[in-house]
């Protein structure tokens, strides 16, 4: 009975924590979302660019102008090459490319970009061209 209870508890925790996806699967999905955002930027596809933004990021961006127009005005790097590193911490991820880092949050409908155009600064937080609260 204890063994069954333990498996049920472990299964419940797995479902609650991550939908039972492995860290590798979650990292792959986060990287795919970051790449999709980069490809949409390169193609100037405002619908796709704005569709992959986290709600707070999109809201902050649209305070100045419509989403696609506001994104076009930012100095974001073009579509990234291969990811150098993908870090997943629960519902947060960082995808590091050669010229950019993209931060994402996991939502029920997938990973969404919370910040992009981010460069590290020694001893200080990243500086990001695109960010939300």
What pairs with residue 127 in β-bridges? 119
pLDDT score, position 64? 82
Contact 112, 52 (CB under 8 A): yes
What CA–CA distance (Å, rounded) separates 133 from 115?
A: 10
pLDDT per residue, tens digit, the chain (133 aa), is: 444 433 333 333 344 444 556 878 999 999 999 999 988 888 888 888 899 999 999 999 999 899 989 988 888 887 678 899 999 999 999 999 988 899 999 999 999 999 999 999 999 999 999 998 7
Q: What is the pTM of this model?
A: 0.80
* DSSP-derived secondary structure letter, 46: H
Domain ranges of the chain: 22-131
Kindly report the CATH class assigned to 22-131. Answer: alpha beta
């Amino acid at each position: 009975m204890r063994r069954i209870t333990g498996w049920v508890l472990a299964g419940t925790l797995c479902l609650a924590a991550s939908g039972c996806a492995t860290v590798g699967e979650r990292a792959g999905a986060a990287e795919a979302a970051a790449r999709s955002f980069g490809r949409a930027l390169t193609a100037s596809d405002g619908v796709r660019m704005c569709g992959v933004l986290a709600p707070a990021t999109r809201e902050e961006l649209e305070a100045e102008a419509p989403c696609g127009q506001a994104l076009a005005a930012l100095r974001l790097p073009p579509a990234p090459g291969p990811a150098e590193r993908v870090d997943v911490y629960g519902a947060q991820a960082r995808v590091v490319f050669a010229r950019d880092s993209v931060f994402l949050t996991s939502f029920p409908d997938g990973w969404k970009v919370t910040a992009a155009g981010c460069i590290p600064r020694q001893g200080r937080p990243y500086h990001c061209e695109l960010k939300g609260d």
